[in-house]
A and B are shown apart, each in its own frame.
Chain A
Amino acid sequence: MTLNAWADIAIGAPLAVFFAMLLGMRAWPRAVVGLSLLSALAVALATWMMALNLPEGGFTSSVPWAVTDDFSVSFGYRLTGLSTAMACVVGTIHLLVQVYSVGYMADDPHKARFFGTLSLFATAMLGIVLSADLAQTFIAWELVGLASYLLIGFWNAKPAAAQAAKKAFIMTRFGDLGLFAGLALMVSRLGDLKIDTVLLAVEANTWEPGFVTAIGLCLLCGIAGKSAQFPLHTWLPDAMEGPTPVSSLLHSATMVAAGVYLFALLQPLFLASEFTATFALGLAVFTALLAATVACVETDMKRVLAWSSISQLSFMLMGLAAGSQVAGFFHLVTHAGFKCLLFLSAGLFIHAAHTGDLLAIGRKVGRSAPVAALGLVVGCVALSGFPGFAGFMSKELVLHAVHEQGMVFYSGALLTSALTAYYAFRLVFLALFDPERESVEAHPSAALKWQQGVVVILAVLTLGIGWTGGDLARHLGASADEAHIHWMSSGVAFAMVALVLGAGLAFVDFGRGGERAGSFAKFPAMHRFFASGWGVDAFWRTFSDVGIAGLTRLALLIDRGAIDRTVDGTGAATKVLGGVAARMQNGRVQLYLSIALGLLATGLLALGAM
């Protein structure tokens, strides 16, 4: 089979499931689930086939779709090392999440809708990844937004879920404005948006520096929205209202990764402007720090993971903005693995404890769920950057790349690393080592087997994935050296110090039982500040209250003052004139005749005068 056919399968199969669900298969949920699993399997297979059969130099095929004199849009596939690698991540995680969902959603009456929408998500995400034209990317990008809206708000009877879905949709829409503006700028110069055309134009260095910077900043705005970077990140913690498999998919391989992928795809464009690159780097470091501090004080398990996602996404952007595609993208891959694992483990805990609260989970479940505990430990160790595990390998590359960009950024990243270790081990200690744990009978069910199986598979993957850096670098077209870690370097030493500091503090705070507040609680003002997400959420609320309310008031003023007055005035004038006319319609033929003759005489006089 050709690459085109595999790509068709990867995008078409989930889409077919979605439409089958839309067109009435909802009545047979089990059939939809089965079909959806089959399509997920096909997608995973297709993505791996594309990656393994990729010819030297990539593969592009596209057909013109909308062509005008000065603008053309084409549809097609552009398979490169980057896109096929990303497709593999998407396909694999998607398959695992689908299998996990079979158990997780077993009792949900709307599981047909769930699986259908999940499939739509896969289609949209692969649409971004495999697209050959940025216009096509944009369409798929918006589809991802739609699918995320549907999934976050899947339990639409829950007001918080509906709110969160709306918030995610609107916040990312803010960013998409920028993305759209960036695309429009490019169209104005290029005439089409083929990725190859764009990259060639960047390489040829034909644009003036200001223009490149403008495009870069616009696109960065879209990426910040999708990948939850400051200040557009606030939707992501709220998006935890969705079902846990959705959070898992959303935060590891799809949606948030879409922004990072776009950055990786157009990396030369961003690096072409020093300002854009530095700005992106600074933004990423700042966001990473912000999110990590919030994760340290958050008490809801999934929200801790959500803030950690934001922080880790910033690490990916750091690597990319610092100029290393391998580092940033490798971190995306490893993060996809361990974050998916963490979420799915969290799903098991939450399923058992019926709450997302960390302390409650520690008290009720803890180590009585061995598979979940295993997943959590492996995931957290990987996340914290324990040497040899997935997170360490990729983060080390990122840190190495950032180190070359200046000490400010590097120290910020190191501090974030320490915080990461702190909140990762805080998670482990709080969830698993609560001395006051009530012993609750474990009640394994048949459905749980699916979930546990997936968690075990992911744990194994996470353990192994850290050692694939060299292969990945070769697949991306770089030399394996780029993924090589210099073990005997000061960078590793610093990272180790950060890890030990973070993990040690976590052990001091939580590892020995006692009160579960942690060091941060000793500084109440700081604690409050962190817990409120640095006030960004409040800022947006004020913004919407003051800004949008002000806008509304202005619109009201214009409406009342100008438009209403005009309309009312027209009405009043008509009424007055109508009154005059009505007074003339007094039913006396004589008056009518006089008026008619008067007009005739006037007309004749006017004619005579001419």
Chain B
Amino acid sequence: MADDLNTYLIISCALFAIGLFGVLLRRNLVAMLIGVELMLNAVIINLVAFAKFSAPEPVTGQVFALFVIGIAAAEAAVGLSIVLAVHKSRGSISVDDLQELAG
């Protein structure tokens, strides 16, 4: 089981599914961010698994995983600051209250 690429890919997909479900279900901005982070982690697992089993240069996959981690950090920083800004300006962090641009 641990030697099979598909195991990890399925883990990755399932984790992505849970993250996606979270993003779609929740209305709380922080909870939605958690969902996004879960999806990003699924991608990282994916990259490392491919690096181990499928890539001619295993380093490449890991480096990309690191990049994803870095970008996740940046995203979280900006996302959380937006959460704070939204809270400051309207006292709530539910996306249901952010619909000014609705068509």
Contacts and interface: CB of A to CB of B under 8 A. Distances in A.
A and B touch in the complex (CB under 8 A): yes
Interface of A: 581-590, 593-594, 597
B103 A583 contact: yes
A583 to B, nearest CB: 7
- Please name the 8 residue pairs, one residue from A and one from B, whose CB atoms are nearest each other, closest first: A585-B103, A582-B103, A587-B102, A587-B99, A590-B24, A586-B102, A587-B101, A589-B95
Contacts of B32: 589
A584 B99 CA distance: 13
Contact of B99 (A581, A583, A586, A593): A586
A587 to B, nearest CB: 3
B65 to A, nearest CB: 22
B42 to A, nearest CB: 14
Contact of A585 (B20, B95, B98, B102): B102
B100 interface: yes
User: Is chain B's binding surface mostly helix, strand, loop or mixed?
Assistant: loop
Nearest to A583: B103
Contacts of A593: 20, 23-24
A597 B100 CA distance: 24
Nearest to A586: B102
Given A584-B103, A590-B23, A590-B24, 7 more contacts: A583-B103, A585-B101, A587-B98, A587-B99, A587-B101, A593-B23, A593-B24
A590 B28 CA distance: 12
A105 B103 CA distance: 73
Contacts of B100: 587
Most buried by B among A581, A582, A590: A590
B95 A588 contact: yes
Contacts of B103: 581-587
Interface of B: 20, 23-24, 32, 95, 98-103
A152 to B, nearest CB: 63
B43 to A, nearest CB: 14
A578 to B, nearest CB: 9
A594 B24 contact: yes
Contacts of B98: 587
Contacts of A588: 95, 99
Contacts of A594: 24
B99 to A, nearest CB: 3
B24 to A, nearest CB: 5
Nearest to B25: A590
A231 to B, nearest CB: 64
B33 to A, nearest CB: 12
A605 to B, nearest CB: 15
A409 B44 CA distance: 107
Contacts of B101: 585, 587
27 contacts: A581-B103, A582-B103, A583-B103, A584-B103, A585-B101, A585-B102, A585-B103, A586-B99, A586-B102, A587-B98, A587-B100, A587-B101, A587-B102, A587-B103, A588-B95, A588-B99, A589-B23, A589-B32, A589-B95, A590-B23, A590-B24, A590-B95, A593-B20, A593-B23, A593-B24, A594-B24, A597-B20
Contacts of B23: 589-590, 593
Contacts of B95: 588-590
Contacts of A589: 23, 32, 95
A297 to B, nearest CB: 77
A84 B48 CA distance: 101
Nearest to B102: A587
Contacts of A587: 98-103
A584 B20 CA distance: 20
A586 B32 CA distance: 18
A281 to B, nearest CB: 78
Contacts of B20: 593, 597
A477 to B, nearest CB: 86
A399 to B, nearest CB: 88
A146 to B, nearest CB: 58
A587 B99 CA distance: 5
Contacts of A581: 103
Nearest to B98: A587
Contacts of A584: 103
Contacts of B24: 590, 593-594
Contacts of A585: 101-103
B12 to A, nearest CB: 15
Contacts of A583: 103
A85 B98 CA distance: 92
A337 B12 CA distance: 108
A585 B100 CA distance: 11
Contacts of A597: 20
A583 B102 CA distance: 8
A593 B95 CA distance: 14
A594 to B, nearest CB: 7
A478 B98 CA distance: 100
Contacts of B102: 585-587
